[in-house]
């Protein structure tokens, strides 16, 4: 993977800048795609590629209310996120209530015996679930997302699941686009 770094961005003064919004972790596909289109000018394909970054790290309850890793190896940058998300990942998913029914995430296990999690903003990339806009609870298929129809972005998820090098190339491009967003006159290091 190759990301070209350009310098010249100016730090904002936090006292004079309005708070930035973040994408909703419990949103449906339309709202997830609209956020990235509005904030960064991303296409659906670019949004799917960028969310593959969830292959790194894990969620912590004290930070977001969610808990767990998206993939077993939280420090390996590859397309495992898409493999686990796609039906071919062998993960059995069900929605879990956190914070006494006020927040929901998807938990799943695979043959490795390690648990994984996905947010609605992840799951909607592959399945056409209909989460509640307040809690994220999915009433259409909470115990088995395979019962829900495929999402409009399913083919992109499957393509990235089958082609790590292809996903990494597209991720590099969209990551550069994101980190340079809103900046002009950036320069390459000498």
144-179 confidence digits (pLDDT tens): 888 889 999 999 999 999 999 999 999 999 999 988
Distant-in-sequence, close-in-space partners of 66: CB < 8 Å, separation ≥ 6: 25, 59, 60, 98, 103, 105, 117, 119
Rounded-to-integer distance, Cα 125 and Cα 137, Å: 16
Percent of the chain with pLDDT over 90: 39
8 Å CB contact between 36 and 158: no
pLDDT tens digits along 10-41: 777 777 766 667 788 888 999 999 999 998 99
Give the pLDDT score at 89: 65
Give the pLDDT score at 88: 62
Residue 2 above 90 pLDDT?
no
Segment among 82-86, 129-133, 142-146, 163-167 with least mean pLDDT: 142-146
Angle at CA 133, nearest 5°, toward 63 and 147? 100
Q: Is 40 helix (H, G, I), strand (E, B) or coil?
A: helix
Rounded-to-integer distance, Cα 23 and Cα 34, Å: 9
Residue 183 above 80 pLDDT?
no
Fold held by 29-180: Peroxidase; domain 2 (1.10.420)
Kindly calculate the radius of gyration of the chain based on its CA atoms and give it in whole angstroms: 17
Q: Which residue has the tokens 């309850």?
A: 61
């Amino acid at each position: 993977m190759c990301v070209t770094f350009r310098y010249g961005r100016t730090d904002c003064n936090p006292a004079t800048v309005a708070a930035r919004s973040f994408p909703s972790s419990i949103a449906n596909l339309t709202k997830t795609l609209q956020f990235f289109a509005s904030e960064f000018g991303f296409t659906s394909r670019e949004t799917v590629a960028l969310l593959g970054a969830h292959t790194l790290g894990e969620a912590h309850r004290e930070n977001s209310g969610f808990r767990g890793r998206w993939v077993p190896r939280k420090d390996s940058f590859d397309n495992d996120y898409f493999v686990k998300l796609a039906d071919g990942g062998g993960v059995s998913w069900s929605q879990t209530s956190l914070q006494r029914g006020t927040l929901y995430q998807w938990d799943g296990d695979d043959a490795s015996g390690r648990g994984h999690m996905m947010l609605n903003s992840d799951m909607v990339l592959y399945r056409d679930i209909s989460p509640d806009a307040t809690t994220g609870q999915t009433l259409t298929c909470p115990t088995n997302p395979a019962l829900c129809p495929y999402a409009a972005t399913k083919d992109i998820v499957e393509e990235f699941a089958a082609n790590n090098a292809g996903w990494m190339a597209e991720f590099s491009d969209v990551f550069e686009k994101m980190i340079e967003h809103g900046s002009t006159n950036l320069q390459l290091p000498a």
